[in-house]
Amino acid sequence: MVSAVTSWASTESPWPRHPFAPHADSRIGVLVNRNAGHGNGAAAALGMELSTLEGLDVRVTASLGEVDGAVRELMARGINVLVVVGGDGSLHHAMQSLVHRGRLWPGVLVPLPLGTMNIVAESLEDSLRRTLKSRPRELLQRLTTRPWGAIPKRELRLLEVESLAGSRFGFVFGSQLVKHALEMYESFGGGSVGLARLLFETTRGALFQTELWKKEGWRLNPPESPIDVDGVHLARYSVAFAATCELVAFGGSLRALPSPGATGFPVRVVTERRTSQLIRLIPTLMRNAHSKTAAISEFPQAKELVLQGGYTLDGEVFAGSPSDPLKVQIGGSVSVIGAERATLA
Question: DSSP letters of 206-227?
Answer: HHH--HHHHHHGGGGPPPSS-E
Length in residues, the chain: 345
Determine if residue 190 is left, alpha or beta; phi over 0 gives left, psi from -120 to 50 gives alpha, anything else beta: left
pTM: 0.88
- Closest by CA to 43, choosing from 86, 87, 94, 107, is 86
| Fold (CATH) for 18-160+335-344 | Rossmann fold (3.40.50)
Residue pair 198/181 in contact by the 8 Å Cβ criterion: yes
CATH of 172-334, one of 2.60.200.40, 3.40.50.300, 2.60.40.2550, 2.40.30.10: 2.60.200.40
- Report pLDDT for 96: 93
pLDDT tens-digit profile, the chain (345 residues): 344 555 444 445 667 888 999 999 999 999 999 988 776 788 889 989 999 999 999 999 998 889 999 999 999 899 999 999 998 999 999 999 998 656 789 999 999 999 888 888 988 888 898 999 899 999 999 999 999 999 999 999 999 999 998 999 999 999 998 898 888 877 776 665 666 677 677 777 777 788 888 888 888 889 999 999 999 999 999 999 999 988 765 555 456 676 666 678 999 999 988 877 877 776 666 554 455 677 888 898 999 999 999 999 998 999 877 788 999 999 988 999 998 754 443
Structural domain boundaries in the chain: 18-160+335-344, 172-334
**How big is the CA angle at 198 (ends 312 and 37), to the nearest 5 degrees?**
65
